[in-house]
Amino acid sequence: MTELPRIHRRTLLMSLCAAGAFPRHVLADASKTITWDDLIPPGLPYGEIVGPGLIDEEADFWRPEYDANSFKMNEALNGKIIRMPGYIIPLEQTDEGVPSFLLVPYVGACIHTPPPPPNQLVLVDTNPPWPNDNLWDPVWVTGLLKTQLQSTELAEIGYHLTAQHIEVFS
């Protein structure tokens, strides 16, 4: 019977660490860069999707009303690794940064203006959290995209993205 070569613990640990880093590199290379228009299903008439909605002039509040097209997601992107640009609206902040945020197509969406329709909003979870000092910079987010309609205090959201990599847009 032949004896198998002994593997030192240090070699094994280094190999496991390298193997753990490998999939991220592969996933980053395999990502598909998309734009906000790609979140709308192909051939969907977008047109005038915003109705009058709820207007409260005294409280200076307007929540728009969307038609059924705004709740339709691009199912071809469900379960895909994508890379897309956008702006961060924090939903949760810790001392380490922002672990959960809305990715929105323009500055101030959901804060200074009514929220975009659900098929133009992405809920992002990230670990490690995004640093608090980069909140106004546009970013690229790469990760696994899911079509998942959900409701928050800020808006109805059509997509969920588990971030694998975030970087400042350049």
Phi first, then psi, for residue 15 (nearest 5°) are -65, -45
The one-letter amino acid code at 75 reads E
pTM of the model: 0.76
Instruction: Tell me 109's DSSP state.
Output: B
Predicted confidence pLDDT, tens digits, the chain (170 residues): 444 444 444 443 344 344 444 444 444 568 999 999 999 999 886 654 555 667 777 877 667 777 888 899 999 999 999 999 999 999 999 999 999 999 999 887 777 677 889 999 999 999 999 998 878 889 999 999 999 999 988 889 999 999 999 999 98
Q: How far is CA 60 from the centre of its chain?
A: 29
Domain 23-168 adopts which CATH fold? OB fold (Dihydrolipoamide Acetyltransferase, E2P) (2.40.50)
**CA angle (35, 43, 30) in 5-degree steps:** 35
Residue ranges per structural domain of the chain: 23-168
Helix boundaries (H) for 32-152: none
Q: Cα(108)–Cα(59) distance, rounded to whole angstroms?
A: 19
- Residue 91: both structure tokens together: 């939903």
The one-letter amino acid code at 142 reads T
Q: Cα(124)–Cα(131) distance, rounded to whole angstroms?
A: 14
The sign of the CA dihedral 38, 40, 46, 51 is: negative
